């Protein structure tokens, strides 16, 4: 893993040696620098962070990759592009466990607290490793019952 020395404002970017990935990181960094941090200034928003290819209609869908026109390409490890107190609900499914601790996790949680309205709700979904390990060690087919196998196309 090599670090690329750019300017002090985007020095923290990490590149993994693949040019397409580096270009994507540079585009994200440029978006962050040009945005002034906030591009959505509405209230009582429902925010779906790291939505991937599953954006939810009526929500602000954010992912590091621009997978559809209804998704905002943004790296929430650095900041969240919402104004203070603008989100009533933040949902992040299997995103939190992929961040570096404590730097990225602390920053992300601080940003969530900043954008949540008073009484707002944050729901972070993370894997339950203990459940899967226990089910794996149990006799029978408890693991498959807990998480049924599906074909790759979701069927």
Is the Cβ–Cβ distance between 40 and 86 less than 8 Å? yes
Q: Above 70 in pLDDT, residue 140?
A: yes
> With respect to CATH, is domain 40-127 assigned 3.40.50.150?
yes
* pTM of the predicted structure, to 2 decimals: 0.64
Give tens-digit pLDDT for 32-82: 554 444 456 678 999 999 999 999 999 999 999 988 889 999 999 999 999
Q: How far apart are CA 86 and CA 13, in angstroms?
A: 28
Q: DSSP alpha helices (H): ranges in the chain?
A: 19-35, 103-115, 129-137, 142-146
Residue 129 banded pLDDT, cuts 50, 70, 90: confident
Domain range annotation of the chain? 1-35, 40-127
């Amino acid at each position: 893993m090599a670090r690329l020395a750019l300017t002090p404002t985007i020095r923290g970017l990490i590149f993994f040696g693949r040019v397409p990935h580096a270009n994507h990181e540079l585009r994200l960094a440029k978006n962050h620098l040009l945005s002034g941090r906030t591009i959505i200034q509405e209230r009582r928003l429902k925010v779906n962070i790291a939505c991937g290819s599953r954006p939810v209609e009526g929500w602000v869908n954010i992912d590091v990759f621009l997978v559809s026109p209804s998704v905002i390409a943004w790296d929430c490890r650095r900041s969240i592009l919402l104004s203070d107190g603008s989100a009533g609900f933040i949902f992040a499914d299997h995103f939190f466990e992929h961040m570096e601790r404590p730097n990225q996790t602390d920053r992300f949680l601080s940003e969530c607290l900043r954008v949540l309205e008073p009484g707002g709700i944050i729901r972070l979904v993370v894997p339950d490793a203990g459940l899967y390990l226990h089910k794996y060690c149990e006799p029978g087919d408890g693991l498959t019952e807990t998480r049924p196998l599906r074909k790759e196309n979701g069927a």
